Chains A and B, each alone.
Chain A
Amino acid sequence: MNQSRWRKFRKRVVRHRMLILMALPGLAYLVINNYLPMLGVTIAFKEIDYSRKGLFNLLFGHEWIGFKNFEYLFRTDDAYTITRNTILYNGLFIVLNTVVAIAVAIVLNEIRSRFMSRLYQSLILLPYLISMVIVGYLALSMLNVENGFMNKTILPLLGIDPVSWYSEPAYWPYILTFVNLWKNVGYLCIIYLAAIVGINHEYYEAAVIDGASKWQQITRITVPLIAPTITIMMLLAVGRIFYSDFGLFYQVPLNSGALKPTTDVIDTYVYRGLMTLGDIGMSSAAGLYQSAVGFVLILLSNWLVRRRSRDQALF
């Protein structure tokens, strides 16, 4: 019985060897890029010996030290700071970006002129297309201490003294939130606009006949009907709340040490541990902490998405 199934399988493999061959490059790539690093997470439990290189040593070499790296990590205040920053920033981004994007999408949908609507869409999507390095330049042109637009033009108009932005951590929660909103609202707006455009027009026609105002149409028809999209987009974002936009937190504050209390998140901490401090133990422990909690959160959010809409779930 078992043997005949095995033979059937073998026959199938031989018969469809071309399909397997076609899948091979992609699968090999996923093994190299994703599955080897997944096996490599064990280095968080090891003392790295730099003289031992190669695949075998990455997976099986080095001395096991148990949870020591994690003990070091959680004994410092760093673990608390980066976890707090990551969750608070991402939580704020999710709520604020969603609210603003929906509002903009609703306004955009009301614009009658198709040409103008397209033009507005192109313009608000522009920030989404550029790299975070460029965003760093744009932020610098605004915030530069000696020449920046804020210190030289806006603050003098308001009669406020110049601020040395890149050494005052207190302002950065606002700055980063604004930059994130500026960069991503166009993208989210397009998603929600697609949902709004899909609403059947008869609802609005019936509402107008019944004398509904524009505001009533928005709150009673538009928002309830795009609620499923909103829920799913937010759940997907919550699933990724432990991962931050590394570029935003690295490029925009110009990697300034003075700003660390309010700009350091898990991703920047892991990066700095690996590339600048050379503290692979601590860095890999923080990385695994992120991957593990992130995994649980993604499963949880996927489970919630699945309960609402089978098609939208990842699996």
Chain B
Amino acid sequence: MRTNAVQQTLFHAIMAALSAACLFPFILLFVVSFSDEQSIILNGYSLIPDSFSLEAYRYLWGQLTPLARAYGITVLITAVGTITGLLISSLLAYSLSRDEMPLRRVLSFLVVFTLLFNGGLVPTYLVYTEVFHLKNTLLALIVPGLLTNAFFILIIRTFFKMSIPGAVIESAYIDGASEWTIFSRIILPLSLPILATIGMMLTIAYWNDWFNGLIYITNPKLYSIQNLLNRMLSNIQFLMQNDLGGRSSESLAQMPMNAVRMAMAVIGILPILCIYPFFQKYLVKGLVIGAVKG
């Protein structure tokens, strides 16, 4: 019995150390954002600053207009992208799950093939900018991510096939239900767990996306929160330049640069951290089925 207690303590110690290592940079970020700029310059970024200060957040409050706009854009593209992506994927997955679908095997292969080969960045960029003219439009933040992962389609298709008995669909069909009715009244309600899981993955992907903004958006007014963060990582003064609509009345020298930078990052992660505990269950499930294919 004694060795068991020792073992448990050891295992807890290992996991506690690892968890602390994962958490540490976040805590540092958080503390620095509340630190007094003078004490940062004196002692560097520290977990125990000489004095705390809300100056960074007060400063960002003064830049509310560009921040609120970037936030709004992120929320908008996340909502529209997740819902549209989920709808398009599940519709395609439903068609491909039905044996009656003409050319089912060829079309399924077309979906799988996108996982094997891709045109790469340059042709994709040229298609979106020169053929569809998405550069500097909000669509550029939404469209490229819709079905990025064809894997999701395959996972949903497998779920439809495995967990919804063919007899249910058949009897609905005989009763005169249209495909759309079957899909929206029977399939979707029975598939809520998988849809929630995929929806969660899409939400995180859209919320965190900075790449599409990096290549398709040059107009700062269309920046999502991630793109704003991206620009401020290399240029902390970015918020006040470029006529973003922020107030630049305060002089640059008075800006608590270090703390502001970290406060921006805190604002960027806070929403994910807040919803994480409620969606952890779906997320973990999504990761597992995503890895070993449903």
Q: B-contacting residues of A (Cβ < 8 Å)?
A: 9, 12-13, 15-16, 18-20, 22-23, 25-27, 29-30, 32-41, 43-44, 53-55, 57-58, 104, 107-108, 110-112, 116, 119-127, 129-134, 136-142, 144, 146-149, 151-153, 182, 186-187, 190-191, 194, 214, 229, 232-233, 246-247, 251, 254-255, 267, 270-271, 274-275, 280, 283-284, 287-288, 290-291, 294-295, 298-299, 302, 311-312, 314-315
Contacts and interface: CB of A to CB of B under 8 A. Distances in A.
Interface of B: 7-8, 11-12, 14-16, 18-19, 21-23, 25-26, 28-29, 32, 40-41, 43-46, 88-89, 91-92, 94-96, 98, 100-102, 107, 109-112, 114-127, 130-132, 143-144, 146-147, 150, 153, 178-180, 183, 204, 207-211, 214-215, 226, 229-230, 233-234, 258, 261-262, 264-265, 268-269, 272-273, 276-277, 280, 283-284, 287-288, 291-293
Contact of A232 (B89, B123, B283, B292): B292
A298 B229 CA distance: 34
Contacts of B292: 191, 229, 232, 312
Contacts of A299: 116
Contacts, number: 295
B255 to A, nearest CB: 15
B270 to A, nearest CB: 11
B41 A283 contact: no
A152 B44 contact: yes
A274 B124 CA distance: 11
Contacts of B98: 16, 19
A219 to B, nearest CB: 16
B234 A23 contact: no
Contacts of A186: 22
A191 B267 CA distance: 30
B89 to A, nearest CB: 7
Given A16-B102, A20-B102, A229-B292, A110 B18 contact: no
A112 B8 contact: yes
A16 B100 contact: yes
26 contacts: A19-B102, A23-B95, A27-B92, A27-B110, A30-B110, A30-B147, A33-B143, A33-B147, A34-B118, A34-B119, A36-B123, A40-B126, A41-B119, A53-B130, A57-B130, A107-B11, A126-B276, A132-B210, A146-B44, A229-B292, A247-B211, A255-B234, A274-B215, A290-B120, A295-B117, A315-B112
A29 to B, nearest CB: 6
A153 B102 contact: no
Given A131-B229, A291-B117, 16 more contacts: A12-B100, A22-B183, A33-B144, A40-B123, A43-B126, A120-B15, A125-B284, A126-B273, A131-B209, A133-B233, A191-B291, A251-B233, A270-B122, A287-B121, A287-B123, A290-B120
Contacts of B180: 18, 22
SS class, residues of chain A in contact with chain B = helix
B115 A25 contact: no
B26 A138 contact: yes
Contact of A153 (B29, B44, B112, B211): B44
For the complex of A and B, the 9 pairs showing the least CB-CB separation, nearest first, are A152-B44, A37-B119, A26-B92, A40-B123, A287-B120, A131-B208, A23-B95, A123-B19, A18-B179
A33 B268 contact: no
Nearest to A214: B7
SS class, residues of chain B in contact with chain A = helix
B126 A58 contact: yes
Contact of B25 (A58, A141, A247): A141
Contacts of A191: 287-288, 291-292
Nearest to B19: A123
Given A26-B153, A311-B293, A43 B147 contact: no
A43 B22 contact: no
Contacts of B183: 22
Nearest to A288: B120
Contact of B7 (A22, A37, A110, A229): A110
B120 A280 contact: no
A140 B116 CA distance: 35
Contacts of A246: 211
Contacts of A121: 284
Given A32-B132, A43-B123, A141-B262, A136 B153 contact: no
Given A40-B119, A274-B125, A22 B95 contact: yes
Contacts of A232: 292
A302 B234 CA distance: 40
B116 A314 contact: yes
B44 A147 contact: yes
Contacts of B12: 111, 116
Contacts of A127: 22
A110 B200 CA distance: 29
